[in-house]
Every structure is written in C-alpha cells, then in structure tokens.
Structure 1
Amino acid sequence: MSFQPYRSPSTGRPVRAVLFDTFGTVVDWRTGVAQEVAAFAAAHGHTLDAGAFADRWRALYQPAMEAIRTGERGFTKLDTLHRENLDEALRHFGIDPDQVSSGILAELNKSWHRLPAWPDSVEGLASIRRHYIVGPLSNGNTSLLLDMARNAGLPWDVIIGSDMTRTYKPLPEAYLRTAEFLDLEPGEVMLAAAHNSDLHAARETGLATAFIARPTEHGPGQTADLAPEGDWDLAASSITELARGLVQQLQS
C-alpha cells in the first residue's frame, strides 16, 4: 500500500500542502484573550466583562485591515494593528490607555501570541503533517505566528506570515503569494478554515478548500459559520476528522 494524496474535486489537482486559517480555526482566540484581559483588569482594579472586551477588540480587526487592503494605508503588521485597536477597546470600556504603562499594554497585546489551541488541533495537525506540508495561511505576522506555535505546540512545517506576503486576506494575493513561496500551484494548496468567507476567497483564487466547524469561536451565542455554506472539497467537525478525510491508501 502506498499513500496517494487527496485529489481536490474542485481543482482536479492532488493536494500537497494543507494550510490553515489560524485565529478561530486552530486556536481559540476568544478564550485566550479574555483570560489575559481578566488578569489585567484584576491586577489594575478595573471591572469589566472580559469576554465582551475580547469581542470588541476582535471586532476592530477587519476594519483596521480594510484600510490597508484598499490602499488608504501602507502595509502595517497585525501586531501594530492589534496594539492600536487595544487603545480603542480600552477607551470603549472606560479605561484611559494613557494612564496605563506602555510596557503593560505591550504585554497585554502579546496575548494574541499566546492563544490556546483547540483540543483537536495539535493531534490533527501532526496527523496531516505525516503526508502533507502544513502551515498557517493567516493574517498574523511571522513573529506572532511563531510565538503562537511555540506556545501551543503547533507542529507547522513552515510559517509564512502576512508580513512576508505584504497583504491581507481575502485579497487574492494573500493566497497566491503563499502558494508561490512554496513553489506550488494554487490547486495543490488546500485552505482549511472555520470561516466560509475565507473559503470563498480561496476558492476564487484556485485553492482547494476544507471547512472546519468551530461553533463556539465567538462564544455561546455564535450564529455565523455554524455549517459549511459552499460545496467545499471537505467539511469536518475537527482537524482530526479532517485528517481522516485527507488520508487515502491505495495499492502501489
């Protein structure tokens, strides 16, 4: 028996790399950020809803990147955008960031580097990695993704941050430049993501696609991305389930 790589029905190509959206798909950003915000608030005498703070901070993510995607602002790495958005989130909750030391805020901003993996992520990635190149295809910058991987034990083969592609998803270049760095055709790359909009953009650029359900990414009241909303190549409830779907054993 010899391994035959999964052939994408949508691209007609064998998949050689399985790349992952990271925030929400591989790591639980809401829980991780809320825990660190709660610790910050307790240490400095603030009363706030840490989950709501995490949601507010995250809600500023797409608008900040949109200014870069539209060309209104030059490329700026995600760490910087998160730090700017932290000030706005603090003000929203009645905290003056100018009254908090820059060192403390820099450390709180690093919470995005220390996000916990979903329970199935490490095992699932390790299983997929036995047969495919695995790595993030994320809007995170390289140092953020590297710290995240080391903290959570994510077994990536390669990390190509947005500061290398110099663009943000869902612009086509974010997907195409990543494939180019790997010397792969777009159809040989599969994006696995918990977000249907990300998969739609990847499909339009010629990538294979896989949906992974993360129904609590945004907390218990989540209403979006509960199920696949396209004819993605694969759909799974976990990365370990995706790994099983990618493995085909045929006689040599």
Structure 2
Amino acid sequence: MRTNSHSNLKILAFDVFGTVVDWHSGIAREVRALRPTVDGEMFALAWRDGYQPAMRRVMSGELGWTLIDDLHRLILEQILGQFGIADLSESEKHHLNKAWHRLDPWPDVVSGLTRLKSRFTICTLSNGNIGLLADMAKHGGLPWDCILSAEVFRAYKPDPATYLGVAKVFDVTPAEVMLVAAHQDDLAAARACGLQTAYVERSAEFGAAHPKDISPHKDNNWHAQDFLSLADQLGC
C-alpha cells in the first residue's frame, strides 16, 4: 500500500455500479418479477457482460456518443431471446431497462457516505448517465453533494477526461481527489491521472456463487472492507 495521508484530500469520487449499489441482486429481482421462470442471476450477469463491449463501440467511434440507458437497452434487446423472453411488451422492456435506476445500495453505504460527507465533498464518478444516477440517489437515499457522470465529460471511464474532469469541476489538483471503487482497473486508471485511490471490498458483486478476489493492491492508498471502514480510516 502507498503511504496513507488524507491531509490534502478534498474530494471523494465514487464509482457506482458494484461499489455503491448491488446491481446483481437488483437486476435478478426485477427480471424475476416480470417472468418468474427466468434465471435472474444468470440474466443479470449476461446483461452486465454486454456493458464493456457496448462502451467500446462508442469509444471506437462505431457508435456516436450514447447514454448508458440507451446502451443498456441495446444489450437488453440482444439477450432477451437467449432467456426465452423476447415476447416482452414494449412497456415491460422499458420498465426492465429502468431497473438500473432502482438498484439498492449495499447496507453500509448510506451511513458510510453520511460520515464521509461530514469531512469531504462526495460525488459520483460513474459511466451511468445523470438521469439514471439521480433516480438511483432518490431511490436509495444517497446523500451526494454532486452527481458527475461520463455524460458530463462525454467520455467513459477509463478515459483520463473523466478522472481529471473531477479535479477541474472542483478546481483542485488531481492529488486532492480520491477515487473510491471496487474495481482495480478503474483505480489504476485514476492513479495514472494522479488521483489517490481507495479499494472497497464487494466480494458478492457478481452474486454469492461468483465471489470476487478482494485482495489488497499495493498501489492503492487505502483498502477498506466497506464505506464504514473507510470512514474510520479517514477519521470521519
């Protein structure tokens, strides 16, 4: 681990999907509510598996700038037949696609964010679009000071424009910003831009049957079991 010092920290920017909210359980629950015979856990994984390839189509220029809501819908259309539910009505598809707006936070999140907010400015840094993140915050009672999104910067993480954009928005140096995430690749990209980094363990992000490796990485400034542990470490 790097030397831990939070004396110059001003902004905590949070990855959202998997770090703040439990997308796997939420999506599985929502699809089962529409069609109880569907394997909700596998459906959630399949939908999420399409996420990176869809973003690469935008980043490569194959698609123009596209909101995550719209990418989610494209992926949804691709996997419905795979799970035998291609006959969903348009209203059912629209409702299911908005399930990403209704994801629940992990149990430690609201109390942890509230403590962290007492000392730092807290914001999202997500590839999710602003409307999605705002709905999610309302649904889960997430106390953000500010919602920042790929939509603001018209670039998806790990584009440096996203990480450096946080520092620019708040008129601080990159070293005064820390990315908090449950994904080592996201944190590595943030470090390359000069941000501090904190890894948060979310071993069940992909469901209990697919536990993640949550081993500490030496290059992160902080490693925390959850947001409450991070608040303890940062003196909140």
TM-score, with structure 2 as normaliser: 0.94
Instruction: Report SS of the residue matched to 1:15.
Output: coil
In structure 2, the residue matched to 1:227 is 215
Mapped pair 1:135 → 2:129: no
Mapped pair 1:18 → 2:18: no
For the 8 Å contact 1:120–1:238, the answer to whether it is kept is yes
Mapped pair 1:31 → 2:25: yes
In structure 2, the residue matched to 1:61 is 51
In structure 2, the residue matched to 1:88 is 78
| Structure 1 residues 68 and 228: CA distance shift in structure 2, 3 A | farther
Mapped pair 1:158 → 2:146: yes
In structure 2, the residue matched to 1:71 is 61
Deviations 1:159-218 (A, max 9, x none): 012111111111111111222122221111100001111101100011100000000111
Paired AA for residue 15 in structure 1: L
Q: Distance in 2 between matches of 1:213 and 1:222?
A: 14
| Structure 1 residues 13 and 63: CA distance shift in structure 2, 3 A | farther
Instruction: Report SS of the residue matched to 1:159.
Output: strand
For residues 98-117 of structure 1, what are the structure 2 equivalents within 5 Å? Answer: 99-117=87-105
Structure 1: stretches of 5+ with no match in the other structure: 1-7
Paired AA for residue 226 in structure 1: I
Percent sequence identity over matched residues? 44
In structure 1, the residue matched to 2:234 is 246
Instruction: Report SS of the residue matched to 1:100.
Output: coil
Cα displacement (A) at 1:9? 4.0
Paired AA for residue 166 in structure 2: T
Paired AA for residue 85 in structure 1: I
Q: Distance in 1 between matches of 2:205 and 2:6?
A: 32
For the 8 Å contact 2:180–2:197, the answer to whether it is kept is yes
Cα displacement (A) at 1:12? 8.9
For the 8 Å contact 2:65–2:154, the answer to whether it is kept is yes
Bigger CA radius of gyration = 1
Structure 2: stretches of 5+ with no match in the other structure: none
Cα displacement (A) at 1:223? 4.8
| Structure 1 residues 225 and 172: CA distance shift in structure 2, 3 A | farther
Mapped pair 1:41 → 2:35: yes
Deviations 1:91-147 (A, max 9, x none): 221222xx3221211111010000001000000000000010001111100000000
**RMSD (Å) for aligned C-alpha atoms:** 1.7
Paired AA for residue 76 in structure 1: T
Q: Distance in 2 between matches of 1:170 and 1:206?
A: 13
Mapped pair 1:215 → 2:169: no
Q: Distance in 2 between matches of 1:27 and 1:122?
A: 10
Q: Distance in 2 between matches of 1:181 and 1:115?
A: 27
Q: Distance in 1 between matches of 2:110 and 2:159?
A: 28
For the 8 Å contact 1:13–1:188, the answer to whether it is kept is no
Q: Distance in 2 between matches of 1:197 and 1:10?
A: 20
Q: Distance in 1 between matches of 2:157 and 2:210?
A: 22
TM-score, with structure 1 as normaliser: 0.89
Q: 1:189 aligns with which of 177, 188, 205?
A: 177
Number of residue-to-residue matches in the alignment? 235
Instruction: Report SS of the residue matched to 2:126.
Output: coil
Deviates more, 1:30-39 or 1:170-179: 170-179
